[in-house]
Chains A and B, each alone.
Chain A
Amino acid sequence: MIVCPNCTAKQLDGTIFCTECGASLIDAAPPESTRELDVAAVESHEPHSTSSLPSDENTLSDHVVALIVVSNRRRIEVDLSDEVLIGRADPTRGIMPDIDLGPFGGYDAGVSRRHAILSYRDGTYRVEDLGSANGTFVNGRQIEPMRATPVQPGDEIMCGTLLLRLEGHQRKR
């Protein structure tokens, strides 16, 4: 028996695509239990975390946002004190993006290993496609690669076919 990593439906051994949700069961993301760890591990290993050392509640500001994976409503907290790389972890090539979409079906959705950069400067959020194979879309429109495109909380950012929504941090104003 295989458990689909995308929808947790039980599938017969040998199944190539989940009969419930259609997700690929080969080259699949690691099973559910390691997912949470992956995300946490990546976030805590951010190489540039010096500027985002544990801050107290008051300093939480606009540079903390969240990306919602629309398909399963998972929330990824992102600290934009420095720009972050969105992509898909590939340990053998030493690519460890700040936001690893691998556990969220990134492979299936055509997310590149180094897909896009999300940044926050001078009061503006920006997303820049890094020449990814399947492109980055903001609110359904493909953005030009290698050019930082302004985005706002509420906007939909699609990497390949993986739909994310940018949300501002819910904080007490």
Chain B
Amino acid sequence: MLAVGDEPQLIYVLLEAHAEGVAQQLAKLPLNLCLVLDRSSSMRGERLMQVKEAAARIVDQLGPDDYFSLVVFNDRADVVIPAQRAIKKSDLKAAIAQIEAAGGTEMAQGLALALQEVQRPFLTRGISRLILLTDGRTYGDESRCVEIARRGQSRGIGLTALGIGTEWNEDLLETMTASENSRAQYIATAQDVVKVFADEVKRLHAIFAQQVHLSLETRPGALIRSLDQVRPFIAPITIVEEEERRWAANLGDWPDTGVQGFLIEVVVPALPVGDHPVLKLTLRYHLPAANLRDQVREELIRISMRPAAEVTHRVDATVKHWLERLVAYRLQASAWKHAAEGRLAEASERLHMAGTRMLNVGDTALAHTLQQEATRILRSGAASEEGRKRIRFGTRGLIGPVASDERETGT
């Protein structure tokens, strides 16, 4: 219920979707997974040990219909395990155990080889993914990395990019994964590697709907200002106005665990007293395991305009919670932009305010990191590498291991 006025208003729409009924009984889709592992000398010791352990665990998680391949890279790239069904598990694990750390970091070669490998199996249906893990900066081949990632994504091959330690280039990993079915995640300590890998494979195994597509149709005069994923983690989503008053977005593949949440900002024009439909949401998706294509769910959003005196301004607590997290994410993004332009006072203010927002949603630890870095940026002109990564991935909810969806459902 909104108060009538003679100006446009902003309304927030929270869209939450989860699997129910038939979707949960569908068979698993086969997985086609390629691990792309950084084995530069900085990985030596605890990190490589944990990564090898994690890779071996993944092999255990895979079924006989799943494909697995493994590529390693330092200054050059090698196929350790060519794409094959995960059947001779002890052989696969023995190959993993052979990996040794040495040399520098040249990521593009590794990615190119991995993309090659992951496209070898012929799957009529299933999920193809690259899981990249790195702890360092690749020099000089960044644009090639992005290009290879995009090529894969355009063929439906998603990329999960995991950064470990504080040396890796978060700009690059975020750019490479700015697409559906892809994401970057920060692994703060080596002990988390095994869990992060296992969680990712579990999530991929749970995928039941593919090529989820959202279309948003507005009433005349209304405007979609933004669409962002807020659950299970925050990600801005590209929306395109396909034709007048009709926007569209690709939401990728969905697992049947937990909730997919999206926050939509809609600008509605001044409307008279009465009930008005403002937005029609249409979800379109395939259920490959059931051989069903183009399934459709629709939802019509209405608002009720009333004279101002009858309306008490009230904000839904759930909407506010996710919006507050989203605002914190946007504030830190704008802080780095200001910092890059040398506007340190503005950058610091943005980080401060992001801290306030995180404090309100109850993430005290991240709020304090934000405060510290806000102060540091004023004093020394730059944030710390670790602080910056914690903030960028923490505000999105992407510091591993990520809290499980199930747990978040309770909030």
Contact = CB atoms under 8 A, between A and B. Distances in A.
Interface in B330-362: 330-331, 349-350, 352-357, 359-360
A105 B349 CA distance: 12
The A contact surface, by secondary structure, is loop
Interface string A2-34: 000000000111111100011100100000000
A168 interface: no
B200 to A, nearest CB: 31
A21 B323 contact: no
B372 to A, nearest CB: 7
A158 B375 CA distance: 11
Contact of A16 (B2, B7, B320): B320
Interface in A125-173: 134, 140, 156, 158, 160-161, 163
B8 interface: yes
B2 A161 contact: no
B237 interface: no
Contacts, number: 66
Contact of B331 (A1, A14, A22, A108): A22
Most buried by A among B5, B8, B353, B357: B353
A91 B382 CA distance: 42
Interface stretch (B9-17, B37-45, B86-94, B162-170): B9-17
B324 interface: yes
Interface in A95-111: 105, 108-110
Contacts of A49: none
A71 interface: yes
Contacts of B10: 11-15
A161 B367 contact: yes
Contact of A12 (B9, B323, B324): B9
How many chain A residues sit at the interface, stated as a range, is: 20 to 34
The size bracket of the interface on B is 20 to 34
B407 interface: no
Contacts of A156: 375
A129 B307 CA distance: 46
Nearest to B3: A13
Contacts of B353: 21-23, 108
Contacts of A160: 356, 359
Contacts of A105: 356
Contacts of A108: 353, 356, 360
B352 A161 contact: yes
B309 to A, nearest CB: 16
Given A12-B267, A14-B11, A140 B357 contact: no
A71 B352 contact: yes
A22 B2 CA distance: 23
Interface in A21-59: 21-23, 26
Given A15-B10, A17-B327, A26 B313 contact: yes
A163 B375 CA distance: 9
18 contacts: A12-B7, A12-B10, A13-B8, A13-B10, A14-B9, A15-B10, A16-B320, A16-B323, A17-B323, A17-B327, A26-B315, A109-B356, A134-B359, A140-B372, A158-B371, A160-B356, A160-B359, A161-B355
Interface of A: 1, 11-17, 21-23, 26, 71, 105, 108-110, 134, 140, 156, 158, 160-161, 163
